[in-house]
Structure 1
Amino acid sequence: MKPLIVAATRFEIEDSIPLLEEKQIPYLITGIGMTATAYALGKTLATTPATSAVLNVGIAGSFDKNISLGEVVSIRSDTFYELGAEDGDNFLSIADLGFGKYTYEANQVIWDFNLPTFEAITVNKVHGNFHSIQKVLDQIPTIKIESMEGAAVFYVCALENIPCVQIRSISNYVERRNKSAWKIDLAISNLNKWLQKFIEENY
C-alpha cells in the first residue's frame, strides 16, 4: 500500500524525488497555502480513487523553543486558526458559530512513527508579531506548530475517509520575522533524511 506524498513546494522534497520515482511512489506538489492545497489534493483524489493513504510532509514554524530547529515531528491535530468571526476582542471559531469543525486529526494512522507528536494550526498569514503570537497561545495554549497547509490536507482526507498523517521539520521559531535565525536548509535536509528512511524501510 503506497501512500501519496503531499508537499506544498518541490524544494521541500527535492532530494527524495529520485527515490520516490524509483519506488514508484506517487507525489503531489500542491502550491503554498490551504486553498491551493485543498484544490490540488481534492482534484488528485478525485482522479486517482485508488489512493490508499496520504503522507503530508513539509517544513513549519514552532511556537515552542524547546523543540529544536531541524527536529522532525508528527502532527496529531491541526486547526484552521483564522476560520471564524471576531466579536470585539474575542474570536469565535466556526465551531463556536455552529457551522462545523475547525480542528482535524491525523486519520486512521497506519504507520508507527517514533516521533514527538504535537498540535498545530494552519494559517493564511504566518505570525510575526508579539501580540498576535501571544493571542494564539492564549486562545489555544496547547498549540506548538504552525504551517500554511496541514489542516487542509487533514480536512480533505477526513472527508474522503483516507488515512492521513502529517510530518513536519522545524525551520524557524514563530517570532518577529528574523530570517537570519532560520534553519531552512537543516529542516529540509532532516525532513528528506527521515522521508527516505521511511520509504526504504517500508517500500
Structure 2
Amino acid sequence: DAPVGSLVVADAITAADLGAETADGFLPVTELGFGTVTHRPPESAVRVAAEALGAHTGTVLTVSTVTGTAARAAALRSRHPGALAEGMEGFGVAEAAAAHGVPVLEIRAVSNPVGPRDRAAWRIGDALAALTEGFGKLAPALESWNPHDHQ
C-alpha cells in the first residue's frame, strides 16, 4: 500500500517467515513456543518520525528471501494485512536493540513493489532521494524526543 518513492516508518517490525510450514499452513515461531516475531517501536517515536517525514506507518516485514512472485506476496498479505513494505534487516536490528534495552525505529524508502520482480519498474533513485530528504527532517524532529519520557 506504500507507493514507490514513498517513505514508511514501521509501527511493527515483523519476521514474516520465521516459523514452520506445515500441512495446515504457516506457523510463526511464537505458535511453536519460541521467541518473538514482532517488535513494536515506541509509538511516540513512530509518530514524531512519520509526521516529520510525511511517511506512511505500518508493519514492515523482514524476510529471509525477497518476495518475487504474486503468490508469495498474496500469502504474506494474508498473514500480515497491515504490512506496507518488506526488507531483510529490520528484525535483526530490532532484536539487537531489544537485547540492549534501547528503542528502535525502522524507516524504509520504497523502491519497488513487492511481488514479481520487474527490474524496469524499480525506482531506486527516487527512493534514495526520498530517504536523503527525509533524513534532513528526521534528526531535528527526534532531537526533542526522549525515550524515557515517551514510551
C-alpha displacement of 1:93:
0.9
Which 10-residue stretch deviates more, 135-144 or 167-176?
135-144
2:33 pairs with 98, 122, 130, which one? Answer: 98
Opposite residue 129 of structure 1, the aligned amino acid is: T
User: 3-state SS of the aligned residue for 1:175?
Assistant: coil
Does residue 135 in structure 1 map to residue 75 in structure 2? yes
Of 49, 52, 56, which aligns to 1:116?
A: 56
**RMSD, aligned CA:** 1.9
Deviations 1:175-203 (A, max 9, x none): 21001001100100110111123235666
The alignment partner of 2:108 has SS state of strand
Distance in 2, Cα, partners of 1:83 & 1:130:
20
Instruction: Indicate the residue corresponding to 1:71 in structure 2.
Output: 6
| 2:116 corresponding residue in structure 1 | 176
* Residue 145 in structure 1 maps to residue 145 in structure 2: no
Match of 1:167 among 107, 110, 135: 107
Q: Which deviates further from its counterpart, 132-141 or 106-115?
A: 106-115
How many Å separate the matches in 2 of 1:144 and 1:197?
21
TM superposition outliers: structure 1 runs of 4+ over 6 Å: none
Q: Does 1:84 align with 2:24?
A: no
Shift of 1:89: 4.5
Q: CA separation of 1:169/1:100 partners in 2, compared to 1, >3 Å: closer, same or farther? A: same
Equivalent position amino acid for 1:93 in 2: P
Q: Which residue of 2 aligns with 1:21?
A: none
Shift of 1:148: 0.6
* Structure 1 match to 2:137: 197
Q: 1:137 to 1:198 in 2, by over 3 A?
A: closer
Residues 1:154 and 1:180: Cα distance change in structure 2 (over 3 Å):
same
Q: 1:123 deviation in Å?
A: 0.7
Aligned residue pairs, count: 138
Q: Against the structure 1 CA distance between its residues 141 and 200, is the aligned structure 2 distance closer, same or farther, given a 3 Å change threshold?
A: closer
CA–CA distance in structure 2, aligned partners of residues 106 and 200 of structure 1? 19
**Structure 2 stretches lacking a partner, 5+ long:** 144-151
Report the CA distance between 1:118 and its aligned residue.
Answer: 0.9
What TM-score results when the alignment is normalised by the length of structure 2?
0.82
Instruction: Kindly indicate whether the alpha-carbon contact (under 8 Å) linking 2:13 and 2:106 is maintained by their aligned counterparts in 1.
Output: no
Percent identity for Structure 1 against Structure 2: 30
Q: Compute the displacement of 1:73 (Å).
A: 1.8
Question: Please, what TM-score do these two structures have when normalized by structure 1?
Answer: 0.62
